[in-house]
Chain A
C-alpha cells in the first residue's frame, strides 16, 4: 500500500523533475564545462581557468560588470522610492474599486512585449519625438534636445520596466499591516516620516527585500533597455555575454561570463541580506 503511494508520488513528480533536469540542470552543466575550456597556443582544446582570469585581468570586463551592478542597484533604489508611495496608496488609501483599477493600470504595460515598451519610450524621447515637439511648441526650448542615449534615460527605462515587480510584493505586505499600528504611532507623537521609517518600512521588510531582489536581478539581466535606451555610452554586462557568444564566437568566454554573473549577483544579494540582517527563508515566506 505504502510503496504504491510512493510510486504514484514519483510518477506525479517525474515530469517536473525531468523538466528541471533536462532543461535547467543539464544546459547549465554544459555551460559550466564550456566555461573551463579554452584553446592552447596551437589551437587545441584544453581545460583552463583562463576565461575566468580574463574577467579579472581585463579592466573592460570587470569594469563593465561593476558599472552594470551599480546601475542595477541604483535602479532598485529608485524603483523602491517610487513604488513605496504608489503601493501605500493602493493598499491603504484607495477605495476597493479604485484599487482594482489601479492594479490593472500597473499591469497594463506588461501586456505588450518589452521591445514595444522600449520603442514607445524612444518615440516619446527622441530628438524628433513627442516630448521635444510639445516643448518646442510651448516655447520652453528653442532647439530640440536629444533625451535618449544617456544614463538617466536608461535608468528611467529600467525603473519603468521593473516597477510592477516592486509594487506587487509591497502591496501584499502593506495589506497585512494593521492600520491601528500607524494610528498608534501617530498618536505617540510620531511625524509622518517617523511612521514611515519606524513602522511601515520595518513591517514591509520582507516585501521590500523580495521586490528588491527581483528588480535587481531583472535590471542586471536586462538586455534590451540598456542597449536601446542607453545607446552608445552603455555597455551592459549581458550585452558583453551576448557579444562573446554571437560576435566573437567565443562561447567559452561567454559561458564563463554567464557564471560570473550568476555568482557575483548572488554574492551581492547575499551581502544585501546580511547588511539588512535578513534570511532568504524569511523573505520567501
Chain B
C-alpha cells in the first residue's frame, strides 16, 4: 500500500515538473510558425513552442470562450482587434518598450498602433501583410481584371470565392460602392449589403462553389475547374510557379490589404516568451525565411535581403508602385457590422 502511494506521489511530481518546462502557446494561422523557425527559437531560448492553427473568427471565438486564457500569443488581423477588445476584453495592452522597434517598418508599426487603439492603449504590433484580389487563369479568362469578373456570365461555373466578409466588400467595390467609407454609417452599409446579397444570389448559377479550404481552391485552379477566383496573393503566386498562365491580379478597384498582427491575450501565462517570439520573428533573416517559405511579406524592415529572388520577383511583378498605392487597407471593423454581415451571408448561402 505504502509503495503504491509513493509511486503515485512520484508520478504527480514528474507530471508537475514536466508541465513547468517553459512553453509558448501561439494561436495563429497555418504557415505563420514555420517548423524550422520554431526549432531555431527553441534552440536559442529553450522555450518550447506549441502552435494552434486557426482563422480570425475562430481565434476570437476561442479567446472569448476562455476570456483570454489558454494562449500566450495570438495573430488576428489588425482590423478585427479594436471592436472585439472593446466588447470582450480578450487582449492585454502591448508594452512597446519590450518591442525592438528598429526591426519594423515604421509606418506600418504606427498604423497598427493607431488602428488597434482602445482608450489609451494599443493592442497589437504588425507581423505580415498581404492582399486579397483575383487569381486568374489568363489563358481562359484573359479579361478578368476587376472584381466584377466574379459576376461575369462568360466565366459561368468557373468562378469561386469564399462566403466571408471580404467577398461582401469586394462585391461592394464591384457595384461601385466604397464599403470602407460606409463603415461609419450603419444604415448605408446595410443598404449596400442588401444590394450585394441580391447580386450574389443572382450570381449563384455562375459560381462553382464557395471555397473554404485554401489548398482545395488551389487544386481546383490547377485542374482548370476554376479559372477566376477571389483569393490571397500568395495563393496566386504558388500557382504561378507551377503554371505561368495562372497568377494573382490586383483588381482595378484596388486589392484589399490586410495586416496580421501579434496580440497578447489578457490571461497569457508566458508574456515574456511572447515578446521574445515577436522580436525573434521580426529579425530580418527569420522574417526573410518566412517570406520565402510562405510568399507573404512581413513588416520587418530589412528582410528583403533574405528573401529569395523568385519571391521578390512575385512582388515586383504584381505590385508596381501605383498598384501598391491603390491597395485598399481594411480599416478597423465597427462592432455592429459583423452581426449584420453574418445574417447576409446566411441568407446568400440558404437561397437557391
Contact = CB atoms under 8 A, between A and B. Distances in A.
Do any beta carbons of A and B sit within 8 angstroms of each other in the complex?
yes
Interface stretch (A90-98, A209-217, A242-250): A242-250
Contacts of B164: 247
Contacts of A249: 60-61, 64, 84, 87, 338-339
Contacts of B210: 231-232
> Which of A58, A67, A128 has most B Cβ within 10 Å?
A128
B57 A232 contact: no
B204 interface: yes
B35 interface: no
A242 to B, nearest CB: 10
Given A243-B345, A248-B338, A248-B339, A148 B57 contact: no
A234 B350 CA distance: 6
Contact of B157 (A64, A67, A146): A146
Contact of A63 (B58, B341, B350): B350
Contacts of B157: 146
B101 to A, nearest CB: 32
A250 B204 contact: no
Contacts, number: 71
A204 interface: no
B209 interface: yes
Interface in A36-86: 58, 60-61, 63-64, 67
Given A60-B350, A128-B225, A248-B338, A231 B57 contact: no
Interface in B332-352: 338-339, 341-343, 345-347, 349-350, 352
Interface string A236-274: 000110011111111100000000000000000000000
- Size bracket of the B interface: 20 to 34
Given A128-B224, A248-B339, A231 B209 contact: yes
Contacts of B225: 126-128
Contacts of A164: none
B342 A248 contact: yes
Nearest to A227: B212
Given A60-B347, A128-B223, A235-B346, A148 B338 contact: no
B61 A235 contact: no
A177 to B, nearest CB: 44
Contacts of B204: 232-233
Interface string A118-131: 00000000111000
A128 B227 CA distance: 13
B307 interface: no
Interface residues of A, number: 30
Contacts of B338: 247-249
A142 to B, nearest CB: 16
A49 to B, nearest CB: 18
B238 interface: no
A248 B343 contact: yes
A265 B225 CA distance: 38
B190 interface: no
B349 A246 contact: no
A87 B157 CA distance: 41
Interface of B is mostly: helix
A277 B343 CA distance: 40
B207 interface: yes
B67 interface: no
Contacts of A250: 339, 342
B48 interface: no
B61 A248 contact: no
Contact of B349 (A235, A244, A248, A251): A235
Nearest to B84: A249
A127 B226 CA distance: 10
Interface in B171-229: 204, 207-210, 212, 220, 223-225
A236 to B, nearest CB: 9
Contacts of A127: 223, 225
> Which of A58, A148, A248 has most B Cβ within 10 Å?
A248
Interface in B72-103: 84, 87
B339 A243 contact: no
B349 to A, nearest CB: 4
A149 B345 CA distance: 18
A60 B224 CA distance: 34
Contact of A233 (B165, B220, B223, B352): B352
B203 to A, nearest CB: 10
Contact of B61 (A61, A67, A245): A245
A63 B352 CA distance: 12
A232 B223 contact: no
A230 to B, nearest CB: 10
Contacts of A235: 346, 349-350
Q: Which 9 A-B pairs have the closest CB atoms?
A: A248-B342, A235-B350, A128-B223, A235-B349, A246-B57, A231-B209, A248-B339, A127-B225, A247-B342
Interface of A: 58, 60-61, 63-64, 67, 126-128, 146, 148-149, 227-228, 231-235, 239-240, 243-251
24 contacts: A60-B343, A60-B347, A60-B350, A61-B346, A64-B346, A126-B220, A126-B225, A128-B223, A148-B209, A149-B209, A228-B212, A232-B204, A232-B349, A233-B204, A235-B346, A235-B350, A245-B61, A246-B61, A247-B338, A248-B339, A248-B342, A248-B343, A249-B84, A249-B338
Given A149-B209, A247-B57, 6 more contacts: A64-B346, A64-B350, A127-B225, A228-B212, A231-B210, A232-B207
